[in-house]
Structure 1
Amino acid sequence: MTFSQFSSEEKKNLAKEFRFGLESEYLVVTKDDFTPLWHHDLTFETLNGIFESVPLDGIPSCEGLDLEPPQTKLMPFVVEGYHLPDMDFHAKEILPKGVEIRTPVCNSLEEVLKVHTTLFTRLRKAMNDGDYDLVCLSHHPIHSQFSGPQNKRRHDYWQWSMEVMTTFGPDINVSLSDKLAAMVSADDLEAKINYYGPALSALSVASPFVDGSPWALRDGFGKSFRMHKRSYIAPPIEFHPTEKNRYEFKVFDMPNSIEEIEAQFLSFLTLVLDEGLQGRASKQTRIYDLGQVARHGIKAEDMKARATELLERAPAILKDWGYNPQALEVFKKRILTGKTPADDMIELYQKTNSLTEVLKSRSQFLV
């Protein structure tokens, strides 16, 4: 059975059963001078107190979200960081790296974008009132290393929890109906993502700074130190069949506009729904490709061609399922110009010789 058996009208009705969610992480800086903060400078109590002051009127129920200790109130906001466990590996404290917004489950793409915009706007106001601000940057611009006591029973999980203390990124969540999920081959979807995922990553690269300076390579500057860290170990997607067939897509760097967030959702929907995309790759190839993307962005070998193929096919596929593909223009423009957010940041840094100016530019979230 394939999706092509359904008429366009049937596809649009099936799409109404999709559910959406977004998790997005933000670097915290001082409001006045944009000094990047980290666990040395932030406390759980301070951040959690700000979260609890944010009004949630008009926001869907948080039912279904996890209550993450040491938080005691279920909210769309989480202190992201390194958990310090007790003797039984239960979290008792957290060393903050930044903050996370996680939308409740939403019934449409339009709703999740609206809810995220509302949550971001309210949280940012509350953070500003506390003399903090939020920045959309995918790797901490000052700190690149973290070491902490073992906080996971599995050694590899512990190693990974230390690596992500300096990274920030979005998780795109889409849930399919039982009927459609049963028609998706997990192995084939993973192979498709292994091929096209690095090209989508290349369009979003947004973490070109390490230890206070641009990430210097032999032949220029790297584009995503976050992807450099993630390429060899982090999965591009996680499937949660017991959570209403939820797919969690993790290939993008942090965007700073609602249009790009929409483009990220639309790109993932295209990957799932377009059965005509022919590219497939192994895990090992994906790891190699992501390593190249981390260094060279959209100029990495074959990435422009793969991204172009997906984006040229996307409008017809998306319209057939009832989605407006307009937001994908932000990615198409990057293919045409060859410029990514990382390129813009490096250019601004070279012009101003100021990391502060870069952080200010990435604090502007466009809605």
Structure 2
Amino acid sequence: MMFFFGIEHEVAFLNQAGKFADFSETKYAEFNQIVERLPTYPNDYSQLRVGDAGIKKKRWYIEGFERFADSDKVIDCLPKGIEIRTTIHSQIQGAIDELTESFNLLREVAADYGFTPVLASFNPYKTIFEPNPPLNDYEIQQLQSYPDEHTANIYMVTYGPDLNISIADLSVEKLIDIGRKLTYYSPYIVPFSYSAPFYNGNLWDGLSVRTFVRTGKRPATLVFVEKAEQLITSVPSLTKVARIPAEVGRIEFKAFDSCDDFSLYAALLALLKGLVLDESLTGRATIPDAELHQVSAKQGFSNAEIFDNANKILQAAAAALKNDSDINFLTPLKNILESGETKAQELIKQYQRFNSIEAVLKQTYLK
């Protein structure tokens, strides 16, 4: 089987004053001056979608909420951070190396404007996004025509990766089956990435506010198909029509929290690859189990059911990867299960030491 890998990683920032640089603190132009200085790679265009508003011209682009006049003219974009996306790689390590290089470039340029990247999977201060000024008629109509867009109030306060995996020459039926499998096993594997223990300026009573709020309303997995007649109806969507040929057959896993240690993304991509290859796990779901994701978000691996299933899934993935060198990437996940410690627990301990969210955030991305 020929596999291909890509990563989309959202970066949050503190500004020069040390405040969390979200839509309430930051103008589009402030992030745009950073993106303007980053390089363009003309050969990327066959793989990376530019999008309607032309915001996505580079490997870096501003993630945010576009505002429209009473027509399809974009008049503003309220930013939440800068997204990095990699090109498509035939090896996991290639995607990790490119992400690391792009992140280091972003960090260097952002520093010139007083911005420091910090790990966040949920806005530590804002619990919801409310457009100001309120949406006009045209914008309301636009949002109503795309059911997944109803959750803009969620995605503007959440940060997380899309881990993309494509397999050459799989039938649509098989692709959708893999999407349903990853959706079913999502609540057991997402704790490996948990990094969202802050809410509304305080510690939250769990490990991932992002998972608690998001999963169920937003998809855990998206499968890109070639034609509209191959879509299956579900809310949230499991399938989406590819917007460029390079997207056809892509499986996008969307439920992990952000990681500031990119070797963890390598581990998670290897886990997804193992799950694709595995034939032993029979669970399938078209929409994510919101309730189970909420248990997972609160308790993580301290919950026996979550822990036991994560262990079983990890063993199944390792067995499926048995003669593949990518099996070595799974080691950090074994370590997390053995210690029961995720990034969220580390952030909680630091908060108990510093008693300041900003002080904790400044400790992230230091590797």
Deviations along 1:68-120, one digit per CA (max 9) or x if unpaired, are 45445710111111111232455432100111001122232222111111101
- Match runs of 1:145-224 below 5 Å: 145-148=128-131, 149=135, 150=140, 152-154=143-145, 156-178=147-169, 180-181=170-171, 184=174, 186=176, 188-215=177-204, 221-224=205-208
Q: Residues 130 and 244 (structure 1 numbering): CA distance in 2 closer, same or farther, change over 3 Å?
A: same
Larger displacement relative to structure 2 (324-333 or 230-239) = 324-333
Percent sequence identity is: 27
Aligned to 1:4: none
Q: Contact 2:175 / 2:249 at 8 angstroms: preserved in 1?
A: no
- 1:184 is paired with a residue whose SS is helix
**Whole-angstrom CA distance in 1 between matches of 2:109 and 2:224:** 33
Aligned to 1:113: 96
Q: Residues 314 and 44 (structure 1 numbering): CA distance in 2 closer, same or farther, change over 3 Å?
A: same
Instruction: Measure how far apart 1:314 and its partner are.
Output: 2.3
Deviations along 1:28-64, one digit per CA (max 9) or x if unpaired, are 1125x6321111222222212211212357x962433
Deviations along 1:332-356, one digit per CA (max 9) or x if unpaired, are 1111111111111111111221212
Q: Residues 155 and 281 (structure 1 numbering): CA distance in 2 closer, same or farther, change over 3 Å?
A: closer
Aligned to 1:332: 334
Deviations along 1:257-305, one digit per CA (max 9) or x if unpaired, are 1210101111111121111223445746x22210111111222351111
**Whole-angstrom CA distance in 2 between matches of 1:155 and 1:239:** 17
Q: Which amino acid aligns with 2:193?
A: S
Normalising by structure 2, we get a TM-score of 0.85
Aligned to 2:274: 270
Q: Residues 69 and 44 (structure 1 numbering): CA distance in 2 closer, same or farther, change over 3 Å?
A: farther
Instruction: Measure how far apart 1:309 and its partner are.
Output: 0.9
Aligned to 1:67: 50
Q: Which amino acid aligns with 1:329?
A: T
- Aligned residue pairs total 339
**Whole-angstrom CA distance in 2 between matches of 1:158 and 1:278:** 31
Q: Which amino acid aligns with 2:5?
A: F
- Match runs of 1:1-367 below 5 Å: 14-15=1-2, 18-31=3-16, 34-56=18-40, 61-68=44-51, 70-71=53-54, 74-89=57-72, 91-148=74-131, 149=135, 150=140, 152-154=143-145, 156-178=147-169, 180-181=170-171, 184=174, 186=176, 188-215=177-204, 221-242=205-226, 243-280=247-284, 283=287, 286-320=289-323, 322-364=324-366, 366=367
Instruction: Measure how far apart 1:24 and its partner are.
Output: 0.6
Instruction: Measure how far apart 1:139 and its partner are.
Output: 0.5
Quote the RMSD (CA, aligned, Å). 2.2
- 2:267 is paired with a residue whose SS is helix
**Whole-angstrom CA distance in 2 between matches of 1:271 and 1:105:** 20
Instruction: Measure how far apart 1:155 and its partner are.
Output: 7.1
Unaligned runs of 5+ in 1: 1-13, 216-220
Q: Contact 1:263 / 1:327 at 8 angstroms: preserved in 2?
A: yes
**Whole-angstrom CA distance in 2 between matches of 1:257 and 1:248:** 20
Instruction: Measure how far apart 1:66 and its partner are.
Output: 2.0
**Whole-angstrom CA distance in 1 between matches of 2:55 and 2:315:** 47
Normalising by structure 1, we get a TM-score of 0.85
Deviations along 1:181-230, one digit per CA (max 9) or x if unpaired, are 457252x4344224321111122111010111101xxxxx2111111111
Larger displacement relative to structure 2 (150-159 or 46-55) = 150-159
**Whole-angstrom CA distance in 2 between matches of 1:81 and 1:289:** 29
**Whole-angstrom CA distance in 1 between matches of 2:154 and 2:58:** 26
Q: Residues 154 and 323 (structure 1 numbering): CA distance in 2 closer, same or farther, change over 3 Å?
A: farther
**Whole-angstrom CA distance in 2 between matches of 1:280 and 1:158:** 25
Deviations along 1:140-193, one digit per CA (max 9) or x if unpaired, are 111111112235233744430121111000001111112x3457252x434422
Q: Contact 1:62 / 1:76 at 8 angstroms: preserved in 2?
A: no
- 1:99 is paired with a residue whose SS is strand
